[in-house]
Structure 1
Amino acid sequence: MDNEQQPNFRPALEGFRWDGVAYQPYKQDGSAPFKDVSRQVLFHADGLGCELRYFEVGTGGYSTLERHQHAHAVMVLRGHGECLVGAEIRSVKPLDLVSIPSWTWHQFRASEHEPLGFLCMVNVARDRPQLPTEQEVTDLKALPGVARFLEKPEHKAHRSALSI
């Protein structure tokens, strides 16, 4: 998609959707563990080298635990939840900003009561995410707060996919 082909204005629709923007399942190939996540590419500009995406994590859902070379910036638009960035777990709410440095493990989780929706700005040209190895998960679990975050019931159900 080239930024010259995009309209200058896309009206917002009900339910955090936008006119003319495809609603897509997250990681359609099923190669990584996640639960109830969708994405919409809102803006793609080769000339600026960036892409703005809207992700929504359904109630009780979570994104993939992953890391990659490219950094990205996140702004929460709706809902509440938690995010893991490196060794830090934070509660997140609307208008919170999260910066994810290069090669940093990260994951977002929605609360049990509402979806978590956020904007994510990334480079147009970016590398594919890496999933943690068994040893990397063990190392992460050595950190007390991270262990609690990773031991939530949803993660236990996906142990085989994480190679834990």
Structure 2
Amino acid sequence: MMHRKALDGFRWDGIDHLPYKEEGSVPFKDISRQVLLSAPELSGELRYFEMGPEGFSTLERHEHMHGVMIFRGEGHCLVGDEVRFVRERDLVTIPPWTWHQFRATAGVAFGFLCMVNTQRDKPQLPSDTELEELRTNPTVRAFLDGEI
């Protein structure tokens, strides 16, 4: 059995508070991650990501699916060609090979739990052509430009 006591500030006992990704490797802002559970026998990993009031994750896609639960605050998420307002306890499913990004757009910290496969592929970033195609949707363009 494992028990990790919840601490103040959306941290957990014995869990490292890590950078989201290597600084300068891809575009992101003011976001961190914590791996809460990595269990090969479950074939899954539960992670907690938190971003500051104007933070955002990387625009990316993968061959693996994501299950996300908004755990703290509110913001917006892009999944494919849809932008949705999300808040605490909302659930978001991200299908394989679907562009996705989360943004703290409400001026408050924004955190989410993310369940993924233990063994998974590396994220792909959009090419200039793919980004241009995404931006043809006015709502997606406004999201990517930080106007939503």
Structure 2 counterpart of 1:16, which letter? F
Indicate the residue corresponding to 2:3 in structure 1: 9
Task: Give the deviation of 1:144 after TM superposition.
Answer: 1.7
Query: Which range moves more in the overlay, 29-38 or 132-141?
Result: 29-38
Mark the runs of 5 or more structure 1 residues left unpaired by the alignment: 1-6, 154-164
Give me the whole-angstrom Cα distance separating, in 2, the residues matched to 1:75 and 1:17.
16
Higher strand share: 2
Task: Give the deviation of 1:112 after TM superposition.
Answer: 4.4
Indicate the residue corresponding to 2:77 in structure 1: 83
Structure 1 counterpart of 2:142, which letter? R
Indicate the residue corresponding to 1:42 in structure 2: 36
Give me the whole-angstrom Cα distance separating, in 2, the residues matched to 1:55 and 1:144.
28
Give me the whole-angstrom Cα distance separating, in 2, the residues matched to 1:47 and 1:40.
20
SS of the residue aligned with 1:84?
Answer: strand
Where do 1:58-137 residues align within 5 Å? 58-137=52-131
In the alignment, does 2:131 pair up with 1:140?
A: no
Larger Rg: 1
SS of the residue aligned with 2:41?
Answer: coil
Indicate the residue corresponding to 1:158 in structure 2: none
Task: Give the deviation of 1:139 after TM superposition.
Answer: 0.3
Structure 1 counterpart of 2:131, which letter? V
Structure 1 counterpart of 2:74, which letter? H
Structure 2 counterpart of 1:22, which letter? D
Mark the runs of 5 or more structure 2 residues left unpaired by the alignment: none
TM-score normalised according to structure 1 size: 0.87
SS of the residue aligned with 2:42?
Answer: coil
Query: Which range moves more in the overlay, 144-153 or 15-24?
Result: 144-153
Runs of at least 4 residues of structure 1 off by over 4 A? Answer: none
Give me the whole-angstrom Cα distance separating, in 1, the residues matched to 2:92 and 2:142.
20
Give me the whole-angstrom Cα distance separating, in 2, the residues matched to 1:140 and 1:109.
17
Query: Which range moves more in the overlay, 21-30 or 70-79?
Result: 21-30
Q: Deviations over 1:47-95 (max 9, x none)?
A: 1110000000111110000001011100001001000000000001000
Structure 1 counterpart of 2:143, which letter? F
Indicate the residue corresponding to 1:28 in structure 2: 22
Q: How many equivalent pairs are there? A: 147
